[in-house]
Amino acid sequence: MGKTGKRFVIVGGAGSLYVDPEHKTQLVDTPDFPAEFYALAKAQTDALAELRKHDDVAWTFISPAVDLQVDGKRTGEYILAGEELTLNDRGESIISYADYALAMADEIQNGDHIQERISVVRK
């Protein structure tokens, strides 16, 4: 995809989000991370690390909140964050699939975060 002018937008996971401001520990590496999601989260973490090596690809990696709700309602409101696990004003890391998809569509349309990982949480 290098130098094609095409966007590469990745549906990421929350496991690769950092849980500390120093960016030393990712959620996947914390003691309470669910074992059943470890392999997928580690693969996504590795994929993100590989993407970061390529400056000739217009990629964006979008991580959802920890609690990604399949049947959650679309509110149309979300907080766009960065590399760190972010909580909303109620102390939650939650988002519906519908609002996650909306954030992804907004990023595809606007293209504000090229060669960045962003994350999304319900407002």
Query: What sign has the CA pseudo-torsion 66, 28, 17, 98?
Result: negative
% of the chain surpassing 70 pLDDT: 97
The β-bridge partners of 63 are: 119
Query: Is the pLDDT score of 4 beyond 90?
Result: no
Average pLDDT value over all residues in the chain: 94
CB neighbours of 12 closer than 8 A, spacing ≥ 6?
44, 48, 61, 62, 63, 64, 117
- Distance (Å, whole) CA 26 – CA 42: 10
pLDDT tens-digit profile of 22-60?
Answer: 999 999 999 999 999 999 999 999 999 999 998 899 999
Domain boundaries, the chain: 7-122
Report the pLDDT value the prediction gives residue 6, as an integer from 0 to 100.
81
pLDDT in tens, 64-81: 999 999 999 999 999 999
Instruction: Look at residue 59 and give its three-state secondary structure.
Output: strand
Residue 1: pLDDT over 90: no
Q: Identify the helix (H) or strand (E) that includes residue 47.
A: helix 38-51
Per CATH, the architecture of 7-122 is what? 3-Layer(aba) Sandwich (3.40)
- Distance, in Å, from the CA atom of 119 to the CA atom of 94, rounded to the nearest integer, reads 11
pLDDT for 91: 97
The pLDDT assigned to 2 comes to 54
